[in-house]
Each structure stands twice: as C-alpha cells, then as structure tokens.
Structure 1
Amino acid sequence: MHPHVHTVYAFLDLVGTFAFAVSGAVAARQKRLDLFGVVSVAFTVACGGGILRDVCIGATPPVGLSDWRYLAVSLAASALAIIAYPQVRRLRQPVLFFDAIGLGLFAVSGAEKSLVYGQSVELAIILGTVSAVGGGVMRDVLLSRVPAILEKDIYALAALLGAAVQVGFIYAGWIDWWTPWFATAVCVLVRLASLYFGWRLPVFGDDARR
C-alpha cells in the first residue's frame, strides 16, 4: 500500500476516535456524570470498537491501548465537551451527529486494517462494522440505554454499507486518497438521512402495530 494512502487511513482512525469521543463525552455530560465518568465514557466509546477489532484480528496489544495518541485524542475531546459544552449543544442532536461521523470513519478504517492483517472479504466487512458500532454499544450500556443497533434505527446497516464500499474499492484496485473518504461519506450520509427522513427497519411483534 502506498505510504500516503496508509497515512490517510491512520488519520481517519484518529479523526474517528475524536468524533466518537466527543459523542461519548457529550452523552456523559447530558447524564451529569463527574469528570472521571466523562473521560471514561469518552475513551470507551472512542476505542472500544477498535480494541474489539484488534483482538479479533490478532493485532495485540490493541492500538487503542498501546498508542498514546488515542488516549490524548480522547482527553482532548473530553475537554472540548466540558469547556465548550454550551456551544456543542447548539448542534442539533450533537451526540447523533458526531456518532454518525465516527461510525463512517471507523467502518472504513476497520475494514481496511482487517484486510491488511490478511482477513477475508466477509470478515473485513464484519470487523469494520464491529469497529464502528462497538464503542456506541458500550456507551449505551454504560449509560443504561438500549443500544442503537438493537433498535429499529438504521445504524449498523449504515456501517456495514460503508465497510462494504471500502472493501469493494480495494478489491477493484481503486486505491487512492479519495476512496476512504467516499466510503465514509456513504456511511455518514445513509445514517444522517435515516435520522432526517425517519427511515426505519421493520419491527415485529404486537407493539410494532400500536
């Protein structure tokens, strides 16, 4: 892989870490957690999915624990959420906004890293999705909420689509600086469009008809 392209993927991973950390820190602030709670949730959201991915592909110790930049980015995002919380709150549903950005970035970088470690196409797409949704699931569990991927929102499906587009680009030989950004944009736009237009997956059972 060209060094420039590798740098793009590393940058994607760190930007995704920041976006997820902001979403976690804002959610923790909304739950009125203390300083330790805000930082802990931010780091868990930012690095939880990546740690799961790295353990699955044998990239140990996980980069989220071995690379100081991930902790530094999480701390910076926590500081932003604490210091500039009134400004961040002006964004419409800020947790969902930053979560959508992190979702796309992690789906793409997770799929690419899985391929680098010799995983199959199917596993790369699955682990890209795990990278994207793992931190959000941990956040929702910590904050006593039903995880988004278990509800009817289009969440994991958007991550799956972004990871699949990225893997498709790689196998087609279309590896350039723009390909990860395009795949990320597909995931983010599908997620945000589902929120804006109210797209939902089918729900089954008596409650779904009420």
Structure 2
Amino acid sequence: MTLSQILDLIGVGVFAVSGALAAGRKSLDLMGVVVIAIAASIGGGTLRDLLLNRHPVFWIASPSYLIVIVVCALLTVAWTRWFRPPNQSLQYADALGLAFFTISGAQIAETLNFAPIIVIVMGTITGVVGGVLRDILCAEIPMILRRGNIYATAAIAGAAFYLAMNVVGLPRPLPSLLGMSMIAGLRLAAIRWNLQLPVFSLDRDNPPR
C-alpha cells in the first residue's frame, strides 16, 4: 500500500467522522448519517480523479474505502451516545481531514508529472470539495465560503510547502508530514484564535471616487 493510499484511508475516516457529526447536528437518521459521511469523504477525491482522468475512481477501484467510511460514521454515532463531543469537534475533524486529503491529492497529481500549480490545485480540490458537499447537504454555508475563513488558504500553503520540501530533497515521508502539519496547524490556529484573512468589501453608501 502506497503512502497516498494510506493518507486517503485516514482522510476518508476523518471526514466520515466530520460528516457524521454534521448529520447529528441536523438530527438525521442513520441513513442520513451514512449519506453525509460518504459525500464528505469521497467528494474531493472523486472530482480529482475525474479531472485527472484516473479510471476507475479511487473508491470504485477499492471498495474498502466505503467500508472504512461506514464503520467510522457508525462508530461516531455510537461514541456520541456516551460522550458529548466538544463544540468545535466538527471543525477539528475537518481540519485533520483537510490535511490528509490535500497532501494525498497533491501526491497523486505529482506522480502523474503535472506542473506544480496543477499539483497544488488538485491537492486543494481533494481537500476542500468533500467538506463543501457535506455543508451544502446539511444546508450550511460551506466553510470555504465563510467570510475571512482560513480554509482553502491552509490547503494551498500546505501543498506548496510539500512541493518545496521535495525540491529541497528531504527524504520521504518528511515532505508529506511537514505539509500535513502546516495545513492542520494553520487551520487549528484559525479555529483556536479566530484568525481571518482580510475581507474585501465595497461600501455601497460610499462608492469609490
């Protein structure tokens, strides 16, 4: 099993947890929990594979991904029956999933010899699209679109840092670990201290002269 496959498995598991928590906040039944967990876990990787013309899509080639997703979602439901998750548990799980999936997607694009900018874009797509689908299905504003939110920015920075560490020549898997650490660190710091990007706003009452 390759490192990207291991990261994919961890990523789908973590995003399945985030999907189950999101479904629980909307009081969905078990079928709804599983649907949201699957959408959150495979959305980004599916779009990546379609854009890169990789056939079959990763979870069709290896159905074990779906098993991992369902098991993690149901275990999350069972766990929350006994322990109340922290208020920001969804965001924490999402931050970890973002880190694992972004670097996994970047690795896949890199092994196909795409240009660095495409590697970064594919890593970002892999990391953020599943969360977008989860939030849309739960009738929430996607995290990537929330004003000033450091989300896709963290994925872009981490994927770029991963590539830079490869250029420097660090032995594997150090570039992957450092890239994931940067993404998770930036996202968790943003959650903890409410860090935000500058917001561009046009004041309708005072238009530019």
TM-score normalised by structure 1 residue count: 0.90
Does residue 129 of the first structure (1) align with residue 121 of the second (2)? no
One-letter code aligned to 1:197: W
**Offset from partner CA, 1:127-166 (integer Å, 9 cap, x none):** 1000000000001110111111111210000011111111
Give how far 1:87 is off. Answer: 5.1
One-letter code aligned to 2:123: G
Give how far 1:177 is off. Answer: 2.3
Question: Which one of the candidate residues 92, 100, 106 is aligned to 1:111?
Answer: 106
Over 3 Å counting, the alpha-carbon distance change for 1:128 and 1:90 in structure 2 is same
Query: What residue in structure 1 maps to residue 193 of structure 2?
Result: 197
Within 5 A, what are the aligned runs for 1:34-183? 34-86=29-81, 89-151=84-146, 152-183=148-179
**Offset from partner CA, 1:184-210 (integer Å, 9 cap, x none):** 011000001011111112222459xxx
Q: Is the 1:169–1:175 Cα contact (8 Å) retained in structure 2?
A: no
Over 3 Å counting, the alpha-carbon distance change for 1:175 and 1:109 in structure 2 is farther
TM-score normalised by structure 2 residue count: 0.91
RMSD of equivalent CA atoms: 1.6
Identity of aligned residues (%): 35
**Offset from partner CA, 1:6-60 (integer Å, 9 cap, x none):** 7332211111110111001110011011111100110110110000011111112
- Provide the rounded CA distance (Å) in 2 between the counterparts of 1:55 and 1:44: 16
- Provide the rounded CA distance (Å) in 2 between the counterparts of 1:89 and 1:129: 31
Give how far 1:86 is off. Answer: 4.0
- Provide the rounded CA distance (Å) in 1 between the counterparts of 2:133 and 2:164: 29
- Provide the rounded CA distance (Å) in 2 between the counterparts of 1:111 and 1:89: 35
Q: Is the 1:162–1:187 Cα contact (8 Å) retained in structure 2?
A: yes
Question: Which one of the candidate residues 6, 9, 13 is aligned to 1:18?
Answer: 13
Does residue 186 of the first structure (1) align with residue 179 of the second (2)? no
Q: Is the 1:112–1:166 Cα contact (8 Å) retained in structure 2?
A: no
More helix by share: 1
One-letter code aligned to 1:91: P
Query: What residue in structure 2 maps to residue 3 of structure 1?
Result: none
Q: Is the 2:23–2:32 Cα contact (8 Å) retained in structure 1?
A: yes
Give how far 1:88 is off. Answer: 5.8
Q: Which runs of 5+ in 1 are unaligned?
A: 1-5
Q: Is the 1:57–1:119 Cα contact (8 Å) retained in structure 2?
A: no
- Provide the rounded CA distance (Å) in 1 between the counterparts of 2:31 and 2:60: 18
Runs of 4+ in 1 over 6 A off after TM superposition: none
Higher radius of gyration, 1 or 2: 2
One-letter code aligned to 2:38: F
Count matched residues.
202
